[in-house]
Homo-oligomer: A and B are copies of this chain.
Amino acid sequence: MAEQKATNITWHEGNVTREEREKNLGQKGCTLWMTGLSASGKSTIAVALEQVLLQRGKHAYRLDGDNIRMGLNKNLGFSAEDRTENIRRIGEVAKLFADAGMVTITSFISPYRKDRDAVRALHDAAKIPFIEVHIDLPIEEAEKRDPKGLYKKARAAVAAGKGMGFTGVDDPYEAPEKAELVVPSHKQTVAECVQVLLDALEKRGLLKA
């Protein structure tokens, strides 16, 4: 070993714990997992929640289609197998972010119950809070919104006998049976939806270390 030159460094053996990171951040790491139909409002609510948390000096990060499907999961399609692997990877990454102490907000349709339950189990095993949030917009309302024309396209594909495996049209959406929160996004403003999530974080003591 060479002579000790650096003098302003000290550390003890072993890894930094999640608790130490959380104390440093002034909050507790957790995953808010939003699930719901296309056009139910998941992303809108996620963006608004992230912003409010930031305004309060808290630290949040969103995992969504834009930063996952174009990057980490760009080698996955929409077969049942690929959908499962998609959610598995997102669940693992959400867990890492929560372990880092962040309020992690995910907004993916995540239509299959077993896939969401696997993510929950992953968090449970690591003792990381997992809050499943069902953004509960009825399919009729989602089809009325249809901001990207996807439902229309899916209905046309089914009518033409082709199908496109679109959630709620010709691929199942399995609603959560025991979600921590159910948010009917057609009966509440975005601000009210966000308030429900904030209250849930506060009630669980996650916004302080």
Given contacts A16-B51, A24-B57, contact A192 B11 (CB under 8 A): no
Contact (Cβ within 8 A) B93 A24? no
Q: Which residues of B are found within 8 Å of A200, using beta-carbon distances?
A: none
Contact (Cβ within 8 A) A192 B54? no
Interface: A141 (CB within 8 A): no
C-alpha spacing A92/B101, complex, angstroms: 19
Copies in the complex: 2
Given contacts A72-B93, A99-B67, A100-B61, contact A15 B47 (CB under 8 A): yes
Contact (Cβ within 8 A) B67 A189? no
Interface: A50 (CB within 8 A): yes
Q: Which residues of B are found within 8 Å of A89, using beta-carbon distances?
A: 72, 89
Q: Which residues of B are found within 8 Å of A52, using beta-carbon distances?
A: 9-11
Residues of chain A from 119 to 164 with CB closer than 8 A to chain B in the complex: 122
Contact (Cβ within 8 A) A21 B54? yes
A29-46 interface mask toward B, CB cutoff 8 Å, 1 = contact, 0 = none? 000000000000000000
Q: Which residues of B are found within 8 Å of A102, using beta-carbon distances?
A: 100
Contact (Cβ within 8 A) A191 B72? no
Q: Which residues of B are found within 8 Å of A195, using beta-carbon distances?
A: 5-6, 8-9
A8 to chain B, nearest CB (A): 8
C-alpha spacing A50/B189, complex, angstroms: 42
- Residue positions of A touching B, CB distance < 8 A: 1-6, 8-12, 14-16, 20-21, 24-25, 47-48, 50-52, 54-55, 57, 59-63, 67, 71-72, 75, 85, 89, 92-93, 95-97, 99-102, 122, 187-189, 191-192, 194-195, 198
| A-B interface, 9 closest residue pairs, ranked by CB to CB distance from nearest | A6-B195, A11-B51, A72-B92, A61-B100, A6-B191, A71-B92, A9-B191, A6-B192, A16-B50
